[in-house]
Amino acid sequence: MKLTETHRDSAAIQHYAVAFAHRLRNRIVGMQRRVRPFQAWSAEMAEASLCSANVVMRIKRQTEELAACCAPSRNQSR
């Protein structure tokens, strides 16, 4: 697998993970506004959404580290 394919795949994963986290958070916020009896449940779901956002940030950081590690240095290209 070429490096560009890895970047493309990881970028797609990041994009979908971020979009999922945003949709989940927005859905939870909407539920919190409409359904007051389920406040404890929605707070747990909001915490889960935050955890998924942390996972997204970890994926992004690891992808950037992979790109920095695998990118040819300027000295090697000469």
What's the per-residue H, E or C state across the chain?
Answer: CCHHHHHHHHHHHHHHHHHHHHHHHHHHHHHHHHCHHHHHHHHHHHHHHHHHHHHHHHHHHHHHHHHHHHCCCHHHHC
**What pLDDT, in 10s, does the model give residues 24-41?**
888 877 776 766 666 666
**What pLDDT, in 10s, does the model give residues 1-24?**
455 776 777 878 888 888 888 888
